[in-house]
Chain A
């Protein structure tokens, strides 16, 4: 048995490492190699005004969408866990919906409401507020795809900490805001942080929904991921690879933050 045990252990280890190497690690290493193979033209391409604007837009959109979803996520989690109301199950189901919908479908659904020919788009346009093919549309799409993350991280933490401390604070005369700020928020902070970090990763990387709703106008509504895809399509491979490297490095730093917050949450 020890011999066969060792053989199966090596077999499983070899399979797991080989699978991850071929699917994940080596390909990831390759984009670094490809980007630095022609670093001169790659750097030139990624510092053009259009490219810089695309990265700026991606960060701007995340900076608007993530705080909104964080406030919504914490408030919604509090309502779901601490209060009882009819339709709670329905709200729970709706929050998970973005996990089940293709990003392209999300883009189309938003287009049907907020484009010029959509339900509200014409009226909004006439009142000087263009949503589709402009910043607000990209923000809406990003909010849609990142909707579940903060709620889903905070709900289990709220269940776990219970409400004894909150009740104690209230008995001692704290009002709702003081209770939330001094008792609840400190207890859920790592859960919130973790949710914010995954939502940020998703926001920076969103492609399908934004590709549909943004109109992909270079220098205006083109985000970083769309710029990369179009650079690749325009035979500017070095630029696309270097852009991918920049986003991959962002993803790795996000991953490091995720692991940090996960550990904090566990302790």
Chain B
């Protein structure tokens, strides 16, 4: 006993910290920065540099020529339509998954993430199998604007559902019961009690869905195609620009697409913070 005590007291005092100190952490930071540079930063810098290669007028022309301008407007409009549908459908699906009870609910809950796991090309083929030529339902949506919206809805399905679901689960039922007992209708209870709490989650899910929709490519290739002035979105236009060797134009269009995505994420980020403050 006493020797054990003596042993510990004679041992060296615990070292203050044996994380790889100065050298280690700095080395790790250097590696992280190098990795990010090779993979992300230098390529993005090259993209921005290339976009201004032909001067301001060629940059402007790359996005203001009729086909590009149409594609840009359609990309934003389609993404907005998809966000609005997702806000509604995503919230309802989350609600049903949390508040409703029916056989097979657990399985249904697992299926929601499928669009995240499924390759985008497979998503496109999947929709084509049911809504393409020879559709057993007699619906021919392929290569129309409806196809663009459907493909985008498919790939963005999980965002709002998965953002809203955990918030609904944590929601205090007592507040709703109190509102109901004070005579509030179901609709009033939803609008005044539940919706404000869900708003931050709905907004952050919407932001991710929008950012995803605006750049989507794989699910559109086979099902919607990139028909100028009909279904062509920005990612398709950029892809065709690369194919025809117009790298400067494609880079300019890429920069615009990236800026729109970042601005939208920023605005939604602000809105989410604002709604969090007002959720109480």
Residues of A whose CB lies within 8 Å of any CB of B are: 1, 4-5, 8-9, 12-13, 15-17, 19-20, 23-28, 30-31, 33-34, 72, 75-76, 78-79, 82-83, 85, 91, 94-95, 97-114, 118-119, 140, 143-144, 147, 170-176, 179, 198, 201, 204-208, 211-212, 224-225, 228-229, 232-233, 240-241, 244, 247-248, 251-252, 254-256, 258-259
Closest to A175 in B: B18
Query: Which chain B positions have C-beta within 8 A of A9?
Result: 100
Q: Check B242 against A212 for contact (C-beta < 8 Å).
A: yes
Closest to B53 in A: A112
Q: Check A28 against B46 for contact (C-beta < 8 Å).
A: no
State which of A16, A79, A140, A254 has its C-beta within 8 Å of the C-beta of B25: A79
Closest to A167 in B: B17
Closest to B11 in A: A173
Q: Say whether, besides A112-B43, A144-B39, A232 and B120 are in contact (CB < 8 Å).
A: no
Stretch touching chain A among B63-71, B123-131, B197-205 = B123-131
Q: Check A94 against B36 for contact (C-beta < 8 Å).
A: yes
Stretch touching chain A among B171-179, B231-239, B272-280 = B231-239
Query: Which chain B positions have C-beta within 8 A of A23?
Result: 150, 153-154, 157
Q: Check A241 against B28 for contact (C-beta < 8 Å).
A: no
Q: Say whether, besides A143-B39, A144-B40, A225 and B238 are in contact (CB < 8 Å).
A: no
B81 at the interface (CB under 8 A from A): no
Query: Which chain B positions have C-beta within 8 A of A26?
Result: 130
Q: Check A12 against B96 for contact (C-beta < 8 Å).
A: yes
Q: Check A170 against B238 for contact (C-beta < 8 Å).
A: no
Most chain A CB atoms below 10 A, which of B38, B50, B102, B218: B218
Q: How far is the CB of B110 from chain A (nearest CB, A)?
A: 5
State which of A75, A101, A207 has its C-beta within 8 Å of the C-beta of B31: A75
Q: Check A170 against B217 for contact (C-beta < 8 Å).
A: no
Closest to A32 in B: B129
Closest to B126 in A: A27
B6 at the interface (CB under 8 A from A): no
Residues of B whose CB lies within 8 Å of any CB of A are: 14-15, 17-20, 24-25, 28-29, 31-33, 35-36, 38-44, 46-47, 49-50, 89, 92-93, 95-97, 100, 102, 108, 110-122, 125-127, 129-131, 136, 150, 153-154, 157, 186, 208, 211-212, 214-218, 221-222, 234-235, 238-239, 242, 247, 250-251, 254, 257-258, 261-262, 265
Q: Check B119 against A247 for contact (C-beta < 8 Å).
A: yes
Q: Check B257 against A72 for contact (C-beta < 8 Å).
A: no
State which of A31, A147, A206 has its C-beta within 8 Å of the C-beta of B40: A147
Query: Which chain A positions have C-beta within 8 A of B42?
Result: 113, 119
Chain A interface mostly helix, strand, loop or mixed? helix
A229 vs B43: C-alpha distance when bound (angstroms):
26
Q: Check B125 against A225 for contact (C-beta < 8 Å).
A: no
Q: How far is the CB of A94 from chain B (nearest CB, A)?
A: 5
Query: Which chain B positions have C-beta within 8 A of A28?
Result: 114, 126
Query: Which chain B positions have C-beta within 8 A of A83?
Result: 25, 29
Q: Check A207 against B121 for contact (C-beta < 8 Å).
A: yes
Q: Check B39 against A147 for contact (C-beta < 8 Å).
A: yes
The 9 closest A-B pairs by CB, nearest first: A205-B119, A102-B215, A109-B43, A207-B218, A208-B217, A30-B129, A112-B46, A251-B117, A16-B96
Q: Check B93 against A16 for contact (C-beta < 8 Å).
A: yes
A211 vs B239: C-alpha distance when bound (angstroms):
9
Q: Check A108 against B129 for contact (C-beta < 8 Å).
A: no
Query: Which chain B positions have C-beta within 8 A of A112?
Result: 43, 46-47, 49-50, 247, 251
Q: Check A248 against B19 for contact (C-beta < 8 Å).
A: no
Query: Which chain A positions have C-beta within 8 A of B216?
Result: 102
Q: Check A170 against B239 for contact (C-beta < 8 Å).
A: no
State which of A212, A229, A232, A259 has its C-beta within 8 Å of the C-beta of B110: A259
Q: How far is the CB of B272 from chain A (nearest CB, A)?
A: 15
Query: Which chain B positions have C-beta within 8 A of A91?
Result: 32-33, 36
State which of A15, A110, A176 has its C-beta within 8 Å of the C-beta of B20: A176
Query: Which chain A positions have C-beta within 8 A of B47?
Result: 105, 108-109, 112
Query: Which chain A positions have C-beta within 8 A of B122?
Result: 31, 205, 225, 228, 244, 247-248, 251
For this complex, 27 residue pairs linking A to B, each with C-beta atoms less than 8 Å apart, are A4-B186, A13-B100, A15-B92, A16-B93, A17-B96, A31-B125, A31-B129, A33-B129, A85-B25, A108-B254, A112-B49, A119-B42, A173-B14, A173-B15, A176-B24, A204-B119, A205-B118, A205-B121, A207-B120, A207-B217, A211-B239, A225-B122, A240-B125, A244-B121, A247-B118, A248-B126, A259-B113
